[in-house]
Structure 1
């Protein structure tokens, strides 16, 4: 469900040209996120998880939390579509970082028999959306799952894993709780998310304050997702990307909605305060660089979708190396042999 006002439209568009993303002294690590130089991958502590819990609890306590649900509901419905694309029933499913239950509301009990929903924010679990599937709410962190091995037939996650400090460990735990031949379907924000906001803040802060700090959290690179899923033990992988663009009256309305979604930055290296003049300048830059013909401004959300299966003997497997009975050279002669056969007829 989208925002009802005329300026708030959800659609897909190619990315508009803009200023390159912030280029700090950082390096890519195995988790796919950008961390300060010299940091050990296993010592990652990029996000303040306690602050993220407070942000999500605050958002869920608002009088009209559904006012800010439009993006989560859209992505939740797309994950549900991917579940329906799999021609099987799942007796027990798990939703990691479920929020108010944006995936479960789009599923039916014929597809998923019972659903466990976990989140770090107790208020989100208390205010969960209605669904026909029997659900169990569990207060749990995506980084430390309280479930036994080989428990679930299906694990889903929508717009939650981008706040995890140790993504490889989280994927390993998802694989651990899945039954053999179980499937994981997830979605998370990608690296081009909110590039318009990032560039506008950088330019304004550089002009007004002589330098800039990161105001949008680091995201995983899509090139790393397949590697991370494979390293966690998943096979038959599918990774694809999509862009959703939402038009807002201005930059401040965008930032208000991010706060209402519980998506405010919680990186440890975030800048606590931006001067009023810098914020006004950033809003002017945003409008000047990216405004639409109707006066609204776009915000791009890049979404990575991933599907991975836990191994089972019944799954199709690639043939062993060297077992082919026809060479590529012989395959290249097929067209000529077919044409000769037609002539002989």
Structure 2
């Protein structure tokens, strides 16, 4: 994921391919069986929204997919929920449990077609890790938010699918003497706070979940990634990987990371972020040097040198 300025960083992802991947996933007859993780993370995002004790008349779901946020965010959480999605197929095959389908917008998360100060809340679940210029995207989120309005988001972090990445690399080195990137890059946790501050957000909260899912083998994992629309969309990706290399990678995965029951684990690191657009009414840190008590005095108060017990 690109994290620098627009002039300094070339594109990392093929957004057209990502749209096609999502479109294909949306028409899969078994699409529902691949959505467990997306629905679970969307629920966790909404849980963080409900921790904010205020109402949001108008909210934006950025990268809505088939409406996973709308499945959990009711009218009390958001009066209106505008749902923006890159894939027209995802919008056309929304979840039956979704909401506000008349407010769906087919557009790219990298270019928001909304006026400044349009929304009381912006949420995003498992979409921003496919954005080429994350600082620019966060800056647009900041632009469309009203002052003193929050952004609540989640995206995959740098440790996501590390088992798959390592197994593929070891297999290619063994069989070919080198390797090509087979798993898309993800933003590191340590960078997210700085990127949000650069975009203008304050009162930040960043935390991390790790979701580990067991699969019978590497092949079922790859099938699930395709079904989720989460296959590699890097511009430098190589489409072909020989059958012998695939078999070697599956064997390495099982040998190095396999569970005792014969399954393999797949780790999804989910970075949760909450940030607020500044406003004059927000609490501010006290000025440096304005403290009226010394930490040394407090230490002496709670750790007296004499024993008070006779």
TM-score per shorter chain, which class?
A: over 0.9
Q: Which runs of 5+ in 1 are unaligned?
A: 1-27, 32-38
Determine if contact 1:30/1:41 at 8 Å carries over to the other structure: no
**Which residue in the other structure is 1:113 paired with?**
79
Please give the per-residue CA displacement for 1:278-330, whole angstroms capped at 9, x wherever unaligned.
00111111111121122111111011000001112221111111111122222
**Which residue in the other structure is 1:315 paired with?**
282
1:1-345 to 2 correspondences below 5 Å: 30-31=3-4, 42-131=8-97, 133-135=99-101, 136-336=103-303
In the alignment, the residues of structure 2 paired with residue 71 and residue 132 of structure 1 have an alpha-carbon distance, to the nearest angstrom, of: 17
- Give TM-score, length-normalised by structure 1: 0.85
Shift of 1:44: 2.4
SS of alignment partner, residue 146 of structure 1:
coil
Determine if contact 1:204/1:285 at 8 Å carries over to the other structure: yes
In the alignment, the residues of structure 2 paired with residue 281 and residue 116 of structure 1 have an alpha-carbon distance, to the nearest angstrom, of: 46
SS of alignment partner, residue 71 of structure 2:
helix
**Change in 2 beyond 3 A, CA 1:30/1:124:** closer
In the alignment, the residues of structure 2 paired with residue 133 and residue 89 of structure 1 have an alpha-carbon distance, to the nearest angstrom, of: 17
SS of alignment partner, residue 275 of structure 2:
strand
In the alignment, the residues of structure 2 paired with residue 107 and residue 40 of structure 1 have an alpha-carbon distance, to the nearest angstrom, of: 34
In the alignment, the residues of structure 2 paired with residue 144 and residue 262 of structure 1 have an alpha-carbon distance, to the nearest angstrom, of: 21
**CA-atom RMSD in angstroms:** 2.0
Q: Which runs of 5+ in 2 are unaligned?
A: none
Determine if contact 1:109/1:132 at 8 Å carries over to the other structure: no
User: What is the count of residue pairs matched by the alignment?
Assistant: 309
SS of alignment partner, residue 332 of structure 1:
helix
- Give TM-score, length-normalised by structure 2: 0.95
In the alignment, the residues of structure 1 paired with residue 75 and residue 98 of structure 2 have an alpha-carbon distance, to the nearest angstrom, of: 6
Shift of 1:272: 1.6
In the alignment, the residues of structure 2 paired with residue 101 and residue 137 of structure 1 have an alpha-carbon distance, to the nearest angstrom, of: 10
**Change in 2 beyond 3 A, CA 1:300/1:276:** same
**Change in 2 beyond 3 A, CA 1:208/1:112:** same
Determine if contact 1:29/1:41 at 8 Å carries over to the other structure: no
**Change in 2 beyond 3 A, CA 1:277/1:304:** same
Determine if contact 2:2/2:132 at 8 Å carries over to the other structure: no
Determine if contact 2:2/2:134 at 8 Å carries over to the other structure: no
In the alignment, the residues of structure 2 paired with residue 298 and residue 81 of structure 1 have an alpha-carbon distance, to the nearest angstrom, of: 26
Determine if contact 2:6/2:133 at 8 Å carries over to the other structure: no
Shift of 1:40: 7.6
In the alignment, the residues of structure 2 paired with residue 134 and residue 244 of structure 1 have an alpha-carbon distance, to the nearest angstrom, of: 29
